[in-house]
Structure 1
Amino acid sequence: MVAYLIGRMSIVDPDQYNQYKQLTPGIIEKFGGKFLSRGGERMHLEGALDDRRVVLFEFESVDAARLFYESPEYTHARTLRNGAATDMQLLVVEGFEAH
């Protein structure tokens, strides 16, 4: 069943973060994932305002998302993100299958 990886973070060093951003599309694609949103425009509707960047990826399954996250390629990419993004939150949510 499809799964979504949701990330929220504050970018504190845009130049360093851009190095990370250049690596991730190929890694995500290698593990069958695709970007659904990559920090685009947002509209706040309810709750406490949160200005963190939001990214959303789709994977074929929770296991595929886990393989991506734990891969040597993404482990390396995360080292480039260290110090460039703070207040990180990443989670994987299994999708809904209508019957």
Structure 2
Amino acid sequence: MAYGYLIVTMNITDPERYKQYMAEAPASVKAFGGEYLVRGGKHETLEGDWQPHRVALLRFPSYEKAKAFYDDEHYTRVRGHRAGATEYFNMVLVEGVEAPI
């Protein structure tokens, strides 16, 4: 089964308020078997016009598990903590490839 990945770009404008979101989000991620692969850090645009301020990448055991995480009642409540804390928060769910490593 292929992994499910959440790719997130954001611009945090209120770090104190965003801390409330980050205090609770990891438990929701873990509850669905997810893990953070990227959570901020150094990045650069190599091609195109994409200029995200911050990037996160999460991996889940499957596309379905990632979608269940996002739709979960607890995470729905947690998402409310970031309201007003970011200029933008973009998230896309993609299915990984099933290929031998």
- With the length of structure 2 as denominator, give the TM-score of the two structures: 0.91
Taking the TM superposition and a 5 Å limit, the aligned residue runs for 1:31-50 are: 31-50=32-51
- 1:52 — aligned with what? 53
- 1:81 — aligned with what? 82
Cα distance in structure 1, aligned partners of 2:41 and 2:65: 24
Runs of 5+ consecutive residues of structure 2 not aligned to the other structure? none
- 1:3 — aligned with what? 4
Report the count of equivalent residues: 99
Q: CA-atom RMSD, angstroms?
A: 1.2
- 1:13 — aligned with what? 14
For residues 10-64 of structure 1, what are the alpha-carbon distances to aligned partners after superposition, in whole Å with 9 as ceiling and x for unaligned? Answer: 1110100011011111110001100000011112211115132111000011110
- With the length of structure 1 as denominator, give the TM-score of the two structures: 0.93
Taking the TM superposition and a 5 Å limit, the aligned residue runs for 1:20-31 are: 20-31=21-32
- 1:91 — aligned with what? 92
> After TM superposition, where is structure 1 displaced by more than 2 Å over at least 4 residues in a row?
none
